[in-house]
A and B are shown apart, each in its own frame.
Chain A
Amino acid sequence: MSLRQPLKNHHQEQRLFLTRVVIVAIGVVLLFGVLAVRMGLLQVVGHSHFATLSQNNRVRLEVLPPPRGLIYDRHGRLLAENRPAYQLEVIPEQVDDMDDTLERLSRIIPLSDVEIRRFRSLLERKRAFQSVPLKLNLDEDALADFAVNRHRFPGVDVHARVARHYPQGAVMAHVVGYVGRINERELAEVDADRYAGTTHIGKTGVERHYESVLHGEPGYQKVEVNAQGRVLRVLERHPPRPGRDLVLGIDVRLQRVAQEALSGHAGAVVAMDPHSGEVLAMVSLPGFDPNRFVHGISFSAYDALRTDRRQPLFNRALSGQYPPGSTLKPVIALAGLEHEVIRAGEVMHTHGYYTLPNHSRRYRDWKNHGAVDMDKAITQSSDVYFYDLGHELGIDRLSGFLARFGLGKRTGIDSTGERPGILPSREWKQATHDQPWYPGETLITAIGQGYMLTTPMQMASVAATLATRGERVQPRLLRRYADPDGGSAHPLHPVPLTEVELNDPGNWAPVLESMEHVVHQRNGTAHGAIGSDLGYRMAGKTGTSQVFSLADGEEYDAEELAFYLRDHALFIGFAPAKDPRIAVAVVVEHGGSGGAVAAPVARRVMDAYLLEEAS
């Protein structure tokens, strides 16, 4: 007991408490009395009234689930539709011997143990007259086989239900995502009334992000039932309101071109309209067939997908984080010009490696470039030039400038699984590694290596920002809503992000020009692979990002390296250079050289968009 409150009178307090408890107890008894009276009124006085109502209670509400909104590409090609799926159902009370029926049935239509187990557990919960699904998603052969033998199986019949179908299959898997059976966790997160009759819910991608829009509002019908609960007729019907149809900015044709261009490599391609932010293609390879998830994928098949070393379920375009490598150099050069650390024409003499003052470690270049100015440094991708630039800028200014391009943050695209990448900074390193920043780390950050990680989507966004000279918009998959009434046919407005405004807007030109040289000048790193016969002007930058680092003095020999330790090949670019309409980022995992492997992928996509668009 504290000294300042010595006045506690225990005896008096106990009496006070007793009084209060007695009052509470009286209150409790009285209110229970109210309940008892209420029940008496309902059950004794009102009994005959309610008994009649109960007798005549032949009207039941049934929920009508809404049809899910469809998804189209920008040219109206279906990406997700609702198709009738045929399933085998059994009405228990019409079957004499269930075991025998199942046994004979399995000779015609193969039934797995899982299907039979699920059927038996459903059987226990349903009433004898209710149809119980036995096998979902019958194919045409099974349908035909059953039709011939149908007379032998009283009580067994085929019913059509609506199921989601993805006509483009694996091509759009990572864009559209897929729906699957609602699990308990998801059920707890949605409005139970809205999902009363719904069996499937968006799990990934657009299907998940726009779930609330795609789902629609359920309707209901009043049905008359007999005393056993069998439906006799429909009295009143309030139809459901279908979910809204979505039109994506994706072009299926472009998507296919990008996929073919990657020719079997694992990797990602993102193409977007730099002005609207509409994503024109978003490919992640390897892919998977989303249709397998709709009808409930088996554990073994899911496990095989999940543990596949090539990670087909992983959306590299949004979740894959790669060192951007040299593709970051145009932005670093801009930072140098902006902070007046370099000038475009200034020449630096390089010797194939760089050392920090008072340090012995040599930071190597991929070749000795000799005398280098900014244009040559970008065109031929000199590392030493950027080591020096990075050193002069310092990590704080470097990191601050890169942040203005949105690096280290999610782009906010309307899909699932996007990751933010890593934009290293002094504070970041202190927070995550509990270590100070070392000057050498600034050097490797300046060539897009080290801690730096970006997603292909972020790199496409960087390319778009360069293309628009600083205007930034949020990348977006949804182009517009397609309402059945024809309303709101206009594309949605772009979502503007903070613009990159330079102190001297004149600094854009030399950097963008150098990016054109990368493609069109004889010694540009992408010229050999794509520059000689282009039908338009393209600006780009190649990159090769190290998967693991070599010790000082070791030589890189692609032949000798295990495949999965080989460098990633990267490319970012936009075209036409003077009036950009498409910005592209390409990552080819373990592809080796960015110029030789990644740049041709970007070119094929741009060709398809710019040259074949009319056709």
Chain B
Amino acid sequence: MYDAAAGEEGAAGRLLQRLLGLDLLLAAGLLLVLALGFVVLYSASGGNPDMLYRQGLRAALGLTVMLVLARFPHPHLCQGSPWIYFLVVLSLLAVMFFGQVSNGAQRWLDLGLFRFQPSELMKLAMPMMLAWYFAERPLPPRPRELAVAGVILAVPVVLIARQPDLGTALLVAGSGLVVIFLAGIRWRILMGLAAAGLAMVPLLWHFMHDYQRQRVLTLLNPESDPLGAGYHIIQSKIAIGSGGVYGKGWLNGTQSQLEFLPERSTDFIFAVFAEEFGLFGVLVLLALYLFIILRGLVIAVRAQDTYARLLAGSLSCTFFIYVFVNMGMVSGLLPVVGVPLPLVSYGGTSMVTLMAAFGMLMSIQSHRRLLAR
């Protein structure tokens, strides 16, 4: 498994890798998905030059961040992890008290020049913090350490869920739970926690916002909300289904081009893709995503210290959760929670955080070699 991957990399690739800290396989996968994203966005936005330009800017910014982080040795990242974590928790608290209310939710912090969303940064800070926490302790973790990890996990998740931003809370929780799982939590404890979690569902329901409950109900019966999320799901299923095996062709998806499909360039862009490129295209996209995720897991396995392993594993899995939740919601398997399709959906701060995560993965991969020599 290791040697096969290493053998594919030519001499030029090795040079690039050494100079830039790039992982060519991962970079190739990312660029392909990004390129595909622009093709779909062109169609979904009706060729809007403004949107394409802005998305291009975001991609460029993301790639820059990725390149910078790829050069950054991850042991420094490890030392900085708790600081970053506490800073982000503090800014989450700041959001709670001084944040900007938008859409009935308080997510933004206005720093005068620009606004930013601390919850987005938590997607990186959470796995970093937990990986740092477990890195120096013997694994599998003992119950006391698990309790501490639970607190590290719960505080920001609750803060984000209260904003309320269920999608992000879910991703942050996922990124943390993955670290705990990878750290080797014992099955007995895991099962116990899972059972307890199931028992909490009614309680969770009690604390949900009305619109969140509505989304769950809508999933069970889309017709109940024909103007909102229900209409979304109905139209997106029609779009996907009518695409068939080979799709209607680029720019020819009637569902999206005739504007039946809402949010077609953001959260529901996958439906446009599936309509125009069919099952064939979907499988190609799935394969690309799967390739990126597995490559990330390979990097995790080959990493030489616990921090790098746990961080790499968690970042790869978070990426997977993104893909799964978005595709699941667009195809009507999961409730609409507002998670974009990574690297493809228009807008959002998620592009930059995602690319930052891949930068870290690459840093872990390239510095492994340097450390080894």
Contact (Cβ within 8 A) A8 B231: no
Contact flags A522-535 to B (C-beta < 8 A → 1, else 0): 00000000000000
Contact (Cβ within 8 A) A53 B238: yes
Contact (Cβ within 8 A) A189 B100: yes
Main secondary structure of the interface of B (DSSP, over half): helix
Residue from A16, A31, A40, A193 within 8 A of B279 (CB atoms): A40
Q: Is B55 an interface residue (CB 8 A)?
A: no
In chain A, positions 6-30 with a C-beta closer than 8 Å to chain B are 7-9, 13-14, 16-18, 20-21, 24-25, 28-29
Contact (Cβ within 8 A) A61 B139: no
Q: Is A114 an interface residue (CB 8 A)?
A: no
Looking at B108, B138, B283, B297, which has the most chain A CB atoms within 10 Å of its CB?
Answer: B138
Residue from A20, A44, A50, A190 within 8 A of B181 (CB atoms): A20
Subset of 12 A-B contacts with CB under 8 Å: A5-B137, A7-B138, A24-B317, A29-B290, A36-B283, A50-B241, A53-B241, A54-B242, A61-B227, A124-B49, A190-B102, A225-B258
Contact (Cβ within 8 A) A43 B290: no
A9 vs B137: C-alpha distance in the bound complex, in angstroms? 10
Number of interface residues, chain A, beta carbon within 8 A: 53
Please name all residues of chain B whose beta carbon is closer than 8 Å to the beta carbon of A9 when the two chains form the complex: 138
In chain A, positions 172-193 with a C-beta closer than 8 Å to chain B are 188-193
Q: How far is the CB of B14 from chain A (nearest CB, A)?
A: 25
- Say whether, besides A32-B290, A60-B259, A229-B258, A13 and B331 are in contact (CB < 8 Å): no
Contact (Cβ within 8 A) A44 B182: no
Please name all residues of chain B whose beta carbon is closer than 8 Å to the beta carbon of A189 when the two chains form the complex: 100-103
Contact (Cβ within 8 A) B274 A18: no
Contact flags B74-97 to A (C-beta < 8 A → 1, else 0): 000000000000000000000000
Contact residues of A with B, CB < 8 Å? Answer: 1-2, 5, 7-9, 13-14, 16-18, 20-21, 24-25, 28-29, 31-32, 34-36, 38-40, 42-44, 46-47, 49-51, 53-55, 57, 60-61, 121, 124-125, 188-193, 220, 225, 227-229
Pairs of residues from A and B, 10 with the lowest C-beta to C-beta distance, nearest first: A50-B241, A54-B242, A189-B102, A43-B279, A229-B258, A42-B241, A16-B184, A50-B242, A47-B244, A7-B138
Contact (Cβ within 8 A) A43 B244: yes
Residue from A39, A54, A193 within 8 A of B254 (CB atoms): A54
Please name all residues of chain A whose beta carbon is closer than 8 Å to the beta carbon of B101 when the two chains form the complex: 189
Beyond the given pairs A50-B238, A190-B102, 4 more chain A to chain B contacts, judged by CB atoms under 8 angstroms and listed by A's residue number, are A28-B320, A39-B282, A53-B242, A124-B47
Contact (Cβ within 8 A) B140 A44: no
Contact residues of B with A, CB < 8 Å? Answer: 46-50, 100-104, 108, 136-140, 178, 181-182, 184, 227-228, 231, 237-245, 254-255, 257-260, 274, 278-279, 282-283, 286, 289-290, 293-294, 297, 300-301, 306, 309-310, 313, 317, 320, 324, 327-328, 331, 333
- Say whether, besides A24-B182, A28-B294, A54-B255, A38 and B260 are in contact (CB < 8 Å): no
Contact (Cβ within 8 A) A5 B184: no
Looking at B50, B104, B227, which has the most chain A CB atoms within 10 Å of its CB?
Answer: B227
Contact (Cβ within 8 A) B241 A190: no
Q: How far is the CB of B138 from chain A (nearest CB, A)?
A: 5
Name the CB-closest residue of A to B236: A42
Contact (Cβ within 8 A) B242 A125: no
Please name all residues of chain A whose beta carbon is closer than 8 Å to the beta carbon of B324 when the two chains form the complex: 31-32, 35
A17 vs B181: C-alpha distance in the bound complex, in angstroms? 9
Residue from B46, B103, B317 within 8 A of A191 (CB atoms): B103
- Say whether, besides A21-B297, A193-B228, A32 and B286 are in contact (CB < 8 Å): yes
- Say whether, besides A9-B138, A39-B279, A24 and B181 are in contact (CB < 8 Å): yes
A38 vs B282: C-alpha distance in the bound complex, in angstroms? 11
Please name all residues of chain B whose beta carbon is closer than 8 Å to the beta carbon of A191 when the two chains form the complex: 103-104
Please name all residues of chain B whose beta carbon is closer than 8 Å to the beta carbon of A17 when the two chains form the complex: 139, 182, 184, 300-301, 306, 309-310, 313
Please name all residues of chain A whose beta carbon is closer than 8 Å to the beta carbon of B138 when the two chains form the complex: 5, 7-9, 13
Looking at B101, B241, B244, B283, which has the most chain A CB atoms within 10 Å of its CB?
Answer: B241
Please name all residues of chain A whose beta carbon is closer than 8 Å to the beta carbon of B282 when the two chains form the complex: 36, 39, 43
Contact (Cβ within 8 A) A50 B237: yes
Name the CB-closest residue of A to B290: A32
- Say whether, besides A28-B294, A220-B227, A47 and B242 are in contact (CB < 8 Å): yes
Please name all residues of chain B whose beta carbon is closer than 8 Å to the beta carbon of A228 when the two chains form the complex: 258
Contact (Cβ within 8 A) A49 B241: yes
Q: How far is the CB of A26 from chain B (nearest CB, A)?
A: 11
A60 vs B101: C-alpha distance in the bound complex, in angstroms? 31
Looking at A5, A42, A53, A61, which has the most chain B CB atoms within 10 Å of its CB?
Answer: A42
Contact (Cβ within 8 A) A190 B103: yes
- Say whether, besides A24-B313, A61-B227, A13 and B306 are in contact (CB < 8 Å): yes
Please name all residues of chain A whose beta carbon is closer than 8 Å to the beta carbon of B258 when the two chains form the complex: 57, 60, 225, 228-229
Q: How far is the CB of A56 from chain B (nearest CB, A)?
A: 10
Contact (Cβ within 8 A) B48 A50: no
Please name all residues of chain B whose beta carbon is closer than 8 Å to the beta carbon of A51 when the two chains form the complex: 241-242, 244
Contact (Cβ within 8 A) B240 A43: yes
Please name all residues of chain B whose beta carbon is closer than 8 Å to the beta carbon of A220 when the two chains form the complex: 227
A16 vs B313: C-alpha distance in the bound complex, in angstroms? 13
Residue from B46, B103, B279 within 8 A of A125 (CB atoms): B46
Q: How far is the CB of B282 from chain A (nearest CB, A)?
A: 5
- Say whether, besides A43-B278, A51-B241, A229 and B297 are in contact (CB < 8 Å): no
A482 vs B237: C-alpha distance in the bound complex, in angstroms? 45
A227 vs B254: C-alpha distance in the bound complex, in angstroms? 8
A189 vs B99: C-alpha distance in the bound complex, in angstroms? 11
Contact (Cβ within 8 A) B102 A188: yes
Name the CB-closest residue of A to B293: A28
Name the CB-closest residue of B to A60: B260
A21 vs B306: C-alpha distance in the bound complex, in angstroms? 13
Please name all residues of chain B whose beta carbon is closer than 8 Å to the beta carbon of A1 when the two chains form the complex: 136
Name the CB-closest residue of B to A238: B227
Please name all residues of chain B whose beta carbon is closer than 8 Å to the beta carbon of A125 when the two chains form the complex: 46, 48
Please name all residues of chain A whose beta carbon is closer than 8 Å to the beta carbon of B100 when the two chains form the complex: 189
Please name all residues of chain A whose beta carbon is closer than 8 Å to the beta carbon of B286 when the two chains form the complex: 32, 35-36
Please name all residues of chain B whose beta carbon is closer than 8 Å to the beta carbon of A39 when the two chains form the complex: 240, 274, 279, 282-283, 331
A61 vs B259: C-alpha distance in the bound complex, in angstroms? 9
A193 vs B294: C-alpha distance in the bound complex, in angstroms? 38
Q: How far is the CB of B370 from chain A (nearest CB, A)?
A: 20
Contact (Cβ within 8 A) A38 B333: yes
Q: How far is the CB of A308 from chain B (nearest CB, A)?
A: 25
Residue from A32, A36, A57 within 8 A of B238 (CB atoms): A57
Residue from B137, B178, B279, B306 within 8 A of A24 (CB atoms): B178
Please name all residues of chain B whose beta carbon is closer than 8 Å to the beta carbon of A192 when the two chains form the complex: 103
Please name all residues of chain A whose beta carbon is closer than 8 Å to the beta carbon of B306 when the two chains form the complex: 13, 17
